[in-house]
Structure 1
């Protein structure tokens, strides 16, 4: 297993909303989750990652939903890019909660360490994915793919 982010876009009220299925791994933990979001969120994520980091303590944060019960959200998702040292080493934090009551609650959180150039490449992939012309994107430390899910090997 390696570090990867694979996202399948399922058409849903496009061009305004998207349904995204994420399959993510950091080599020791992997998970799959699904959520709905504004289609513009893909451009927002792209913008945050394409030029990351801008300085040694840069942080990009994308969140949707809330984990607070009083906010009454169906789920919570966080994608956070941050530097891990003054030399610019970086990581991506993934957190997802389905916000269900016990015993059905599912929460996953982990980080993927990645070089800034790989995070920038992920941002460019999100930028292309935001055009809503392709249904699948795959990213790892060393490669990127965008196209149809069955084309990805």
Structure 2
């Protein structure tokens, strides 16, 4: 299995708030999380990812929600970009937690190792996706693509990418 990130946008309170489903895989593990965020977050991601890394120890951290039970969040999503060596090799850490009680709890923490150019490409995809003209964003270290509709994405992507079990 190839590492990937697939984000599907469902109509909600646009253009201000988005309902997204993120499906991710590092090649051996995969997971998905449905979440809500402000539409401006996509441009924030684009700004950070397009110019990553800025130096040998660059880190970009973005979090939504909390894993602490007392904070009472429905979910937690963490995306962290970081360099893995002085040559700029990089990784994207993704942590998903549905914050459910046992036995329904699902927590996945994975990294996708990649090169800065591929992270920059993901940033460019976030920028285009932020225009809310596409329903599906698909990225892997070897390719990136936007689809105007879910039906178009279904024609090109494996079904488990769009609808993980």
TM over 0.5: yes
Quick one: distance in 2 between partners of 1:150 and 1:117? 29
Gaps of 5+ in 2: 157-165
Structure with a larger share of its residues in helix? 2
Corresponding residue number in structure 2 for 1:150: 151
Give the TM-score normalised by the residue count of structure 1.
Answer: 0.97
User: Alpha carbon RMSD of aligned pairs, Å?
Assistant: 0.9
Corresponding residue number in structure 1 for 2:30: 30
Quick one: distance in 2 between partners of 1:104 and 1:30? 17
State the Cα distance separating 1:31 from its structure 2 match. 1.1
Quick one: distance in 1 between partners of 2:20 and 2:85? 32
Structure with a larger share of its residues in strand? 1
State the Cα distance separating 1:82 from its structure 2 match. 0.4
Corresponding residue number in structure 1 for 2:160: none
State the Cα distance separating 1:47 from its structure 2 match. 1.0
Name the SS for the 2:138 alignment partner.
strand
Offset from partner CA, 1:79-125 (integer Å, 9 cap, x none): 11100111111000000111111111111110000100000000000
Aligned pairs, number: 153
Give the TM-score normalised by the residue count of structure 2.
Answer: 0.90
